[in-house]
Amino acid sequence: MAEANISVDQDQFSCSICLDILKDPVTIPCGHSYCMGCIKGCWDQDDHTGVYSCPQCRQTFTPRPVLGRNTMLAEVVEKLKKTGLQAAPPAHCYAGPGDVACDFCTGRKHKAIKSCLACLASYCETHLQPHYEFPGFKKHKLVKATENLQEKICSNHDKLLEVFCRSDQQCICMLCAMDEHRGHDTVSVVAERTEKQKQLGVTQSKFQQRIQEREKELQDLRQAVQSLKRSAQTAEEDSERIFTELIRSIERRRSEVKELIRDEEKAEVSRAEGLLERLEQEIAELRRREAELEQLSHTEDHIHFLQSCQSLCAPPGPGDLPSIPVSPNVSFEAVRKSVSELKERLEDVFKAEFKVCGRVEEVSVLEPRPDRTSYNMAVSSHWTPTQRTESFVCLRGTER
């Protein structure tokens, strides 16, 4: 009797745990088969739970099934080995999510390593060999495996996009160049790629220059913030020392002045930190775009390059951040000086036996007014991009 020829897939006789041809095959109650050693090792890890499951279908078994060698399956595997059945390829050879699959593999497809722009197909290593061996394929253009090969074909003529129309800024085929684009400024996609590559280099230089400028501003602003904090701390300490020398009647105002200084520091630091965050975001965005440009500059896909280059090569905008005018030499010297002057003036008044009676009515931030009899003490300063406005704490009293 003639033996029947049966077509089998080697995956049918591979263990899904070790991905190799079955060795001492055993079949578990759900019907799936594994190497004896593989399934034992898998279930040994579940001994602490007492529940055992199939690695493929997840059906559970309690108690642990007794494993017996599947003699018939073992004989089939041995016979098939003699007829040329080999171990399954490693799992990383198969196409997965995000991979380009070979167009000529049947069953489970392998990863494609090259795409042919003439055949409009992608090939794994095995199916690519004819392109290297047969003279008829030698002139075919092979590129890195890529998806959406139809995007490189003219939708009107089903021809390869080989020409770039500078008049309309689009990729076209040879028939388009002789038909609706006749008389237009056309060049090969390779020539246009070379020209756009130069533009890309100029744009990259602009991005790098902008990054360097912003990093310098970031560093200067950080130093200014530190100087601002140190000045605020010094002003707070000096004000505290001077206030402790004042008469008891203004003792309760000390904490209010201190709070004014801290509020000013907080406002300035908050503004600076906002600018820091925006600078860091802009630098991150510039770096991201620079990385995209770098990746685009190395692509072998001329069509993808030309279709993406115009949008990516748009030069960076001037940005909407204001200039950073914070000076590293900012100080609260005006606070210390004004408090010292107030102390001296009060001492002069006391020496002249001029007594200021009544209670302090309010502490307000005011500009000096010539029509008011008052003692003005500067305790805070406001810095803007164009000016510094000094404010004053007005201690008002009525003469008895």
**Claim: this prediction has a pTM higher than 0.75:** no
Question: What's the structural domain count of the chain?
Answer: 2
- Expressed as residue numbers, the domain containing 356 is 194-395
- Residue 14 CA, distance from chain mean position: 41
Same domain, 79 and 210: no
Residue reference for tokens 């070379």? 194
Same domain, 262 and 376: yes
| Domain annotation covers residue 306 | yes
pLDDT on residue 73:
87
Chosen domain end from 88, 106, 121: 88
Chosen domain end from 88, 105, 140: 88
110 - beta bridge partners? 94
Six-digit token string for 137: 């394929």
pLDDT on residue 209:
94
Same domain, 258 and 383: yes
pLDDT on residue 187:
92
pLDDT on residue 245:
77
| Domain annotation covers residue 292 | yes
| Domain annotation covers residue 300 | yes
Same domain, 210 and 345: yes
Residues in the chain with pLDDT < 50?
1-7, 87-88, 328, 354-400
Q: What is the pLDDT of residues 378-397, one digit of tens each?
A: 333 333 333 333 333 333 33
CA dihedral (181, 185, 191, 193) positive or negative: negative
Q: Which residue type occupies 9?
A: D
Residue reference for tokens 């030698």? 138
Chosen domain end from 45, 64, 88: 88
Six-digit token string for 264: 């000013």
pLDDT on residue 318:
56
| Domain annotation covers residue 109 | no
Same domain, 210 and 328: yes
H-type alpha helices, the chain: 36-44, 71-82, 125-133, 174-178, 189-245, 254-297, 302-312, 333-351
Same domain, 82 and 199: no
Same domain, 199 and 72: no
| Domain annotation covers residue 358 | yes
pLDDT on residue 255:
73
pLDDT on residue 326:
52
| Domain annotation covers residue 95 | no
pLDDT on residue 343:
77
The CATH number covering residue 74 comes to 3.30.40.10
Same domain, 83 and 218: no
